[in-house]
Amino acid sequence: QNPTLTGRVAVVTGASSGIGAATAKRLAAGGAAVALLARRTDRLESLVKEIESDGGTALAFAADVTDAAVLRNVATEVESKLGTVDLLFNNAGVMLPAPIDELRADQWQRQIDTNISGLMNAIGAFVPQLIKAAEAKGVADLINTSSIGAQNIFPTFAVYTGSKAFVTHLSRTLRAELGAKFVRVSAIEPGIVGTELQDHVTDEGALAWLADSKEAITWLTAEDIAESIAFLAAQPARVNFQQLTIMPTGQP
C-alpha cells in the first residue's frame, strides 16, 4: 500500500469506464475511499463490488456533470458518507470530431457542456471541500483531465481540443490561485488511450484516422494513466506537477 493515498477521500468523475474506472480502482487499491460519479450506475455498482472484493472502499453516485445542482447535492452526500473530499479527479469527457463545415452544432454543444461546463460544475461542487481538507490535512488535489489536443494540432478535432485547451489553461491559473491554500492543481494531458472514448466517434474521417493509428502504434491503457494520477497524488505536499503529458511512445 502507498501510505500517501491511505485515508484520502477521492471523487472520480467519469468513473464508469476507461481512465476514470481504472483510476478509481488504483486510488482505492492505494487506500483511498473513492466516490464514483457517472450516469451509467450499473457500471458504477459493479465497480463498487470489484473494489470492495479487493478490500477497498467505494460508493456510487448517479451524476450527470452537466447538472450543477445534482453535483452540489452529491458533494454534500459524499462528505457525509465518506468524509471531506481531498482529491477530485475531474475526468468526465466526450470527444466528437467532425469537419467544421458539417456544422454539427449538437456535437459542439455536447463537448462544451461536458468538457467545459461539466468540469466547472465539479469544481464548483468540490473546491470548498478541497480547501477545507487542505486546511485540516496540509494538502489536497484537483487533477483535471486535459489532452495532448490542448498542445498539438489535430484537424477536425477543433472543438474537442479547444475544450481541452480551456482545461489546461484553467488548471494553470487555478494552480496559482489555490496553491496558496495548499490545494494542488494539475492537468494531465494523455495522448491516445484505448477506452470507450473512441466508440462515440461517428465521423468517417476521424474513424479511419483512429483505425490507422491503432494499427501503427501501441496505444496507452487506462491503467497507465491511473498510475500517473496515483503518482501525482502521492507526492510530498510541496510538490505540484502543473501539467503531465503522457504519450504512447510511438505517437508523433
Q: CA 239 to CA 241: how far, in whole Å?
A: 7
Q: Return the SS3 of 159.
A: helix
Residues of this chain, 156-175, that bind ligand NDP according to CB under 6 A: none
Identified binder of ligand NDP from the candidate list 91, 129, 161, 228, rule CB under 6 A = 91
Active site (annotated) includes residue 160: yes
Query: Per-residue contact track with ligand NDP, 98 to 137, x per CB under 6 A?
Result: ----------------x---x-------------------
CB of 156 to ligand NDP, least distance (A): 15
Q: CA 49 to CA 44: how far, in whole Å?
A: 9
Identified binder of ligand NDP from the candidate list 8, 20, 56, 140, rule CB under 6 A = 20
Kindly state the cell numbers that stand for 62. 448517479
**92 contributes a contact to ligand NDP by CB under 6 A:** yes
Identified binder of ligand NDP from the candidate list 2, 45, 50, 64, rule CB under 6 A = 64
Kindly state the cell numbers that stand for 10. 477521492
Identified binder of ligand NDP from the candidate list 4, 66, 221, 245, rule CB under 6 A = 66
Instruction: Tell me the CA end-to-end span of the chain in Å, nearest whole number.
Output: 35
Nearer to ligand NDP, 89 or 182 (CB): 89
Put the strands of the sheet holding 9-13 in their side by side order: 57-62, 33-38, 9-13, 87-90, 140-145, 183-190, 243-246
Residue count, binding to ligand NDP (CB under 6 A): 31
Phi first, then psi: what are they for 145, rounded to 5°?
Answer: -90, 110
Identified binder of ligand NDP from the candidate list 5, 19, 34, 122, rule CB under 6 A = 19
Half-sphere exposure of 86 (CA within 13 A, CB side): 24
Length of the chain: 252
Q: CA 48 to CA 46: how far, in whole Å?
A: 5
Identified binder of ligand NDP from the candidate list 39, 72, 132, 137, rule CB under 6 A = 39
CB of 220 to ligand NDP, least distance (A): 7
**65 contributes a contact to ligand NDP by CB under 6 A:** yes
Q: Name the catalytic one among 89, 108, 160, 182.
A: 160
8 Å CB contact between 174 and 142: yes
Residues that bind ligand NDP (CB under 6 A): 13-20, 38-40, 63-66, 91-95, 114, 118, 145, 147, 190, 192-193, 195-197, 222
Which residues carry out catalysis?
A: 160
